[in-house]
Amino acid sequence: MIGLRGISWQWDFYGPGVNGGSSITLKVGQPYEIHIYNDGPLDASSHTFSGNADLGLSGAVLSPGAPAVVQTFTPQAVGAYPFLCTDSSCGTGHANMTGLIQVEP
């Protein structure tokens, strides 16, 4: 299980063997389960996870306090797969809400 939380104004990966931050390195052909959620206070703005179609990740609106969006996927090709927050009303740091899933052999 990989966790991905949206916080003011950044993405943060966490889980076993994950050091945090807005990028993660995964392996081709290995299945993953990712739990994506907004870790902001209940009165914070929503974030919108853009997803990444090449990885089979769907976009999702992430409201504070809402349950995590759980998706499973298996990377099929080596590459760099970016994602971002597509809700510009999330706040002044919105432009910093980018992340990257790097897939290696």
Indicate whether 35 belongs to any domain: yes
* Region 11-16 average pLDDT: 95
Indicate whether 8 belongs to any domain: yes
Domain count of the fold of the chain: 1
Neighbours of 40 (CB within 10 A): 21
Indicate whether 92 belongs to any domain: no
What is the domain extent for residue 21?
2-87+97-104
pLDDT digits (tens, 9 = 90+) for 21-74: 999 999 999 999 999 999 999 998 999 999 999 999 999 999 999 999 999 999
Give the domain CATH number at 14: 2.60.40.420
Indicate whether 21 belongs to any domain: yes
Neighbours of 57 (CB within 10 A): 22
93: pLDDT strictly greater than 90: no
DSSP assigned state of 55: G
pLDDT digits (tens, 9 = 90+) for 30-42: 999 999 999 999 9
Given this model, what pLDDT does residue 89 score?
86
